[in-house]
Amino acid sequence: MKKGIIVTSFGTSNRETMELCIESIENRIKERYTDYLVTRAFTSRMVIHKLKKRDDYPVDTPTEALERMKRNGVKEIYIQPLLIIEGHEYEKILREVNDFVKENPDYKVTVAKPLLSHDMDYEKVVNGLGIANKDQAVVFMGHGSDHSTDLSYKKLEDTIRKAGYENVFIGTVEGEISIDDVVKKLKEKSIKKVLLKPFMLVAGVHALEDMASDSDDSWKSILEKNDIDVDLQIVGLGQVKEIQDIFIEHLDEIRGDENVY
């Protein structure tokens, strides 16, 4: 086995969510690239440490995964980031790859794109969101970032509008578009009931606590305080086949193969 694929994400300490949203994509990649060594990496050292300490469950960092490939004699390596935008975590992967290649110049390492990278990705994501009724009011909670690519969330909402969904909104926990901005838009349209969903790879801590909990500062509570009824759907993007397809397409692109079986 001379070729390998590293599937890397921020990670999660929730083992059930890991299986549903990360392992499911890894398994599809393994089925598609049967002659490749496929391995996992997380960019979050905090998540890696928690899993090791709590469960004695080891997960590699991207650098450790590259070194694992090296030990296995794999010199042609492809990395598929299970990330939403080309933000800080993506740049972290690129830095680690750059450092590895500097020390191992005879290795070929190619990094694919996150979910929202090409213009067509946005249209494909909209189609994958599974909103059957164009009049339904839906609020998605994204992570957001202080990185310039936080603008991707606004671009996605613009794409949603162009597709004819007038009552679908995207806010972020740590980005420019806050829940307060979303509430303002809902009130302007006199919307009294919404479906609240995470726009994140995994439905982990942010989805369970920041979005869906009964704490005063959760998105659910903030919406209800503003007289907006909330239905919850806690499903990570990694569980959605159409979203998985986009990641796999990005991997195919750097492989140069449109059909690999």
Identify whether the C-beta of residue 238 lies closer than 8 Å to the C-beta of residue 29: no
206 is catalytic: no
Q: What's the rounded Cα separation, in Å, for the pair 112 and 81?
A: 7
The catalytically annotated residue of 88, 143, 147, 250 is: 143
Helix (H, G, I), strand (E, B) or coil at 4: strand
Nearest to 139 by CA among 214, 52, 232: 232
CA 89 distance to own-chain centroid:
11
Q: Which of the 8 DSSP states describes residue 147? A: S
Identify whether the C-beta of residue 58 lies closer than 8 Å to the C-beta of residue 51: yes
Q: What's the rounded Cα separation, in Å, for the pair 64 and 70?
A: 10
Would you please indicate which residues are annotated as catalytic (active-site) residues?
A: 143
